[in-house]
Structure 1
């Protein structure tokens, strides 16, 4: 069983997955900072200074007016934290867009590398015009 486990871990896919998870975690931290530190303030500026991440509605319980979302949660009240949800949606959209751009760039790079290999591997043959001339000459020879 230990031998099978070593073979499983040694497979390239497992290592690639581990690297992907680590990079994904680091990327998530960058996106969270982008949303929290850059995008939310811009949205707040456009909406008159509103920071959506701290907005909530108290569903049940008592919360002092103007209490932060953390204070409302800590008080044991049931809160509908729509601002946090909006921030999570913004995070998702940014991550999805960045992944889309990353996959598009990788696909473009792979396609150019594959195309280059195909061009290098393809033997230099007759041109299209030379082939057509050869076909024409053979058709003429068959008629005669």
Structure 2
């Protein structure tokens, strides 16, 4: 079997298409969750003092005037700066996004569990009137 033919069969299979749709959906949901965290959650961290720690740093060597932005401080010759703020901001954003995904998955699983319980509890549907009539006719014919 040629490599091209195998590739066509692979791409044409339902699993690959399902995977492609899942990747696209995950990308879209990731964008929504990132926006939610950036625009709704991170501003709430401002209640703790700072909205963003991206300009937070420690001067290891050199003389940097107080309050200077990280990008400007790094331009000063002879200075060695440990810029921990961007790392903290990225780590916090990532943790919040992962927590948001966890909460979404938890809600979806709860809905699925509830639907499964309702389906298990639901009695089987009553037979249609035609089926009841046909059953009665069959039983009458058997008894004769």
TM-score, with length taken from structure 1: 0.56
Normalized per residue, the structure richer in helix is 1
Q: Which residue in the other structure is 1:140 paired with? A: none
SS state at 2:109 partner: helix
Q: Distance in 2 between matches of 1:61 and 1:18?
A: 52
Q: Which residue of 2 aligns with 1:55?
A: 56
Query: Residue 42 and residue 26 in structure 1: after superposition, are their counterparts in 2 closer, same or farther (change >3 A)?
Result: same
Alpha-carbon deviations, 1:10-69, whole Å to 9, x = none? 44444444344434444444444444444444433432x564122122446776654323
- Alpha-carbon distance change, 41 to 98 in structure 1, aligned in 2, over 3 angstroms: closer
Q: Could you tell me which runs of 5 or more consecutive residues in structure 1 were left unpaired when the two chains were aligned.
A: 124-144
Unaligned runs of 5+ in 2: 126-144
TM-score (norm 2): 0.56
Aligned residues: 123
Root mean square deviation of aligned Cα: 3.7
Cα distance in 2 between the residues matched to 1:61 and 1:31: 40
CA drift at 1:80? 2.4
Shift of 1:108: 1.7
Q: Contact between 1:44 and 1:52, CA under 8 Å: does it hold in 2?
A: no
Equivalent in the alignment of 1:114: 116
Report the CA distance shift for 1:31/1:120 in structure 2 as closer, same or farther (over 3 A): closer
Secondary structure in 1 aligned to 2:68?
coil
Q: Distance in 2 between matches of 1:78 and 1:10?
A: 56
User: Can you list the C-alpha shifts for 1:85-112, whole angstroms capped at 9, x where unaligned?
Assistant: 2112221221121111111122122223
